[in-house]
Copies of this chain bind each other. A is one copy, B any other.
Amino acid sequence: MDLMSKVIELADKLQESTVCCRRDLHAHPEAGWTEFRTAAIVAATLSKLGYEVETGNKVIEEDAMMGRPDQQVLADKQERVISQGADPFWVEQMTGGKTGVVGTFSFQQPGPTVAIRFDMDANDVCETEDVQHYPRRGKFNSVNPGVMHACGHDGHTSVGLAVAKILLELKSSLTGKIKLIFQPAEEGVRGAKAMVTKGIVDDVDYMLGSHFGFKMKHTGQLACNVVGFLATSKYDVVFTGRPAHAGAAPEAGRNALLAGACAALNLHAISRHSEGVSRINVGVLEAGTGRNVIADKALMKLETRGATSKINQYMAEEATRIVKAAAAMYDVQVQITEMGGAAGGKNTEELSSQIKNIAQRLNIFEEIIDTCDFGASEDFSYFMERVQENKGKAAYIMVGADLAAGHHDSRFDFDEKALAYATKILASVTVELLMVKEK
A273 cross-chain contacts in B, Cβ below 8 A:
250-251
A195 cross-chain contacts in B, Cβ below 8 A:
none
Residues A289 and B283 in contact in the complex (CB < 8 Å), given A247-B230, A248-B375: yes
A292 at interface, CB cutoff 8 A: yes
A36 to chain B, nearest CB (A): 23
A147 at interface, CB cutoff 8 A: no
Contact of A303 among B232, B291, B298 (CB under 8 A): B291
A386 at interface, CB cutoff 8 A: no
Contacting chain B: which of A90-98, A169-177, A258-266, A364-372? A258-266
What residue in chain B is nearest A286 (Cβ atoms)? Answer: B286
A233 to chain B, nearest CB (A): 11
A82 to chain B, nearest CB (A): 29
Contact of A408 among B287, B293, B303, B329 (CB under 8 A): B293
A272 at interface, CB cutoff 8 A: yes
Residues A269 and B268 in contact in the complex (CB < 8 Å), given A246-B281, A281-B291: yes
B285 touches A291 (CB 8 A): no
What residue in chain B is nearest A315 (Cβ atoms)? Answer: B251
B376 touches A247 (CB 8 A): yes
A284 at interface, CB cutoff 8 A: yes
A316 to chain B, nearest CB (A): 13
B272 touches A272 (CB 8 A): yes
Contact of A251 among B257, B271, B321, B328 (CB under 8 A): B271
Contact of A291 among B269, B271, B283, B322 (CB under 8 A): B283
A269 touches B272 (CB 8 A): no
| Cα(A371)–Cα(B116), bound, Å | 39
Scoring A residues 95 to 110 as 1 if CB is less than 8 Å from chain B, else 0, what string do you get? 0000000000000000
B268 touches A258 (CB 8 A): yes
A124 touches B279 (CB 8 A): no
A292 cross-chain contacts in B, Cβ below 8 A:
188, 281, 283, 303
Interface size for A (C-beta < 8 A) is 68
A249 touches B261 (CB 8 A): no
A140 at interface, CB cutoff 8 A: no
| Cα(A246)–Cα(B232), bound, Å | 11
A305 at interface, CB cutoff 8 A: yes
B377 touches A247 (CB 8 A): yes
Interface residues in A298-327 by Cβ distance below 8 A to B read: 298, 301-303, 305, 314, 321-322, 324-326
Residues A285 and B283 in contact in the complex (CB < 8 Å), given A272-B272, A331-B321: no
Interface centre among A246, A298, A321 (most CB of B within 10 A): A246
A252 cross-chain contacts in B, Cβ below 8 A:
274
B271 touches A250 (CB 8 A): yes
A245 at interface, CB cutoff 8 A: yes
A88 at interface, CB cutoff 8 A: no
A249 to chain B, nearest CB (A): 5
A295 at interface, CB cutoff 8 A: yes
| Cα(A285)–Cα(B293), bound, Å | 12
A253 at interface, CB cutoff 8 A: yes
B321 touches A279 (CB 8 A): no
A305 cross-chain contacts in B, Cβ below 8 A:
246-247
A294 at interface, CB cutoff 8 A: yes
A139 to chain B, nearest CB (A): 27
A253 cross-chain contacts in B, Cβ below 8 A:
271
A168 at interface, CB cutoff 8 A: no
A279 touches B291 (CB 8 A): no
A313 to chain B, nearest CB (A): 12
A107 to chain B, nearest CB (A): 39
A288 at interface, CB cutoff 8 A: yes
| Cα(A298)–Cα(B283), bound, Å | 11
| Cα(A265)–Cα(B284), bound, Å | 17
A290 at interface, CB cutoff 8 A: yes
| Cα(A269)–Cα(B257), bound, Å | 12
List 7 contacting pairs A-B, 8 Å CB cutoff, sorted by A: A246-B283, A247-B376, A250-B271, A262-B265, A282-B295, A284-B289, A292-B303
Told that A246-B283, A265-B269, A274-B375 touch, could you supply 9 new A-B pairs with CB distance under 8 A? A245-B407, A246-B281, A250-B273, A260-B261, A272-B272, A281-B292, A285-B288, A290-B408, A325-B326
